[in-house]
Chain A
């Protein structure tokens, strides 16, 4: 009996030694926070901003295109002839991967737009359950004054959005984002129109393969607000459905949508297309990232 106990003790002592080096190493592994990557594939879900931005010090070039409405018939080649374009640049500053600025020029309203995006929280394993970003945009309408004989102010051209992006990558194939938004227009057509009003953006993606995801987006103008009309038409909620195709350095986003503007004030507050009547635009975004890292 005693001998058996001894043997066991000896065996235990030996097995403690034989415990692999690997196990020892694994206990040394640092338990650091692991930030979630690729909640979305591009800095836009479709129209609106996503929590993604280029990596530190990287420049992103974006070409966005929306054809005219498909219900315009063969004469307009189903929207081909009224294409609208936005070309933009987005840059993440080299000292922080949390701050991003960008600008673009759209043919819609001859608009110049500028924005900044700041990551306040980054979703992480062992950290925050969501990513939280703040996006502010400025749009400057460049059209000739409709009434040049009156006194016109430059500030009347300006409109803003301020947005919080709350996103969560639930798993490798599903991500969802909510975007409470404040829109402000310096000039509105009617005295009873609100200068400031609210919208709630919603967007998500379902990844269907390594390279392809299906995206959907809805921008809801909260009811009970006097939102300025666009050429006498009541603004509609923007709805978009698309697919992201990712190749090495490019992301191609193809979609159908009822909005033709590709900056936030335009797509959130100036959408007039009614999809149930066939006011649908086919469009695409192409992004290309350039890296300036020194080696």
Chain B
């Protein structure tokens, strides 16, 4: 019994110590939309991101209020009229990347992120192509994908019509944690 207990605890400590986990609090998530009147773009430089190579897990948390726009009024409209950030303060992704047997670390690989994306309080299953590069103490996860506003219950506006499809770019250099 005691031996087993010790083994269990040791196993736990061991797996934690060897975990290939990378993390950042300053990931960049930006989006772009071409609208009828003017293009809209914004960047968030405080995205939280983590990747666990052993379990092939990936997670993101992005605060909606952290998106910075060229114009303060746009930012206000984005928060108040489109994303309702008082009700839905953050967007999230939680999932895995496909782990083919051929993948070895360190290295740079094209992967597919498979998981749940939550925007505006609506969660959808998504598959997103991405590039994951690992070198020493650092990892870099880049992805570019499109989301449809209607899929996430984000209502377009007759007065200020914007594109139905938004392109999102993710750039997250992470450090080993």
Enumerate chain A interface residues (CB-CB to B < 8 A): 2, 6, 9-10, 13, 16-17, 20-22, 24-26, 28-30, 34, 37-38, 54-56, 58, 172, 210-211, 247-249, 289, 291, 293, 295
Contacts and interface: CB of A to CB of B under 8 A. Distances in A.
Interface stretch (B71-79, B98-106, B128-136, B163-171): B71-79
Q: Nearest 3 CB-CB pairs, A to B?
A: A55-B72, A21-B59, A22-B94
A18 to B, nearest CB: 8
Given A210-B157, A211-B159, A17 B63 contact: no
Contact of B48 (A6, A29, A58): A29
Given A247-B160, A291-B71, A291-B72, A22 B79 contact: no
A17 B80 CA distance: 38
B20 interface: no
B65 A34 contact: yes
Contacts of A249: 71, 73
B39 interface: no
B5 to A, nearest CB: 7
B70 A293 contact: yes
Contacts of B51: 21
Q: How large is the interface on B (under 10, 10 to 19, 20 to 34, 35 or more residues)?
A: 35 or more
A6 B1 CA distance: 8
A13 B8 CA distance: 8
Contacts of A13: 8-9, 11-12
Interface of B: 1, 4-5, 8-9, 11-12, 15-16, 23, 25, 37-38, 46, 48-52, 57-61, 63, 65, 70-74, 76-77, 79-81, 84, 86, 89-90, 92, 94, 155, 157, 159-160
A26 B12 contact: no
A55 B5 contact: no
Nearest to A295: B70
A6 B25 contact: no
Contacts of A29: 48, 61, 63, 90
B48 A21 contact: no
Contacts of A9: 5, 8
B79 A20 contact: no
A248 B5 CA distance: 64
A25 B48 contact: yes
Contacts, number: 93
Contacts of B89: 34
A21 B70 contact: no
Given A29-B48, A293-B70, 4 more contacts: A22-B61, A54-B72, A248-B73, A248-B160
Contacts of A38: 76, 80
B52 to A, nearest CB: 6
Given A2-B1, A21-B94, A289-B73, A37 B80 contact: yes
A17 B55 CA distance: 10
Given A13-B11, A210-B81, A26 B61 contact: yes
B88 to A, nearest CB: 12
Contact of A24 (B50, B60, B84, B92): B50
Given A20-B57, A37-B80, A210-B81, A28 B72 contact: no
5 contacts: A17-B16, A21-B59, A26-B61, A248-B160, A293-B70
A129 to B, nearest CB: 15
Contacts of B25: 28, 30
Contact of B92 (A6, A22, A30, A37): A22
A25 B57 CA distance: 12
A21 B63 CA distance: 17
A25 B70 contact: no
B81 to A, nearest CB: 4
A55 B16 CA distance: 47
Nearest to A293: B70
A37 B81 contact: no
A262 B156 CA distance: 35
A29 B27 CA distance: 13
Contacts of A56: 72
Nearest to A57: B72
A25 B81 contact: no
B48 A17 contact: no
Contact of A16 (B5, B12, B23, B57): B12
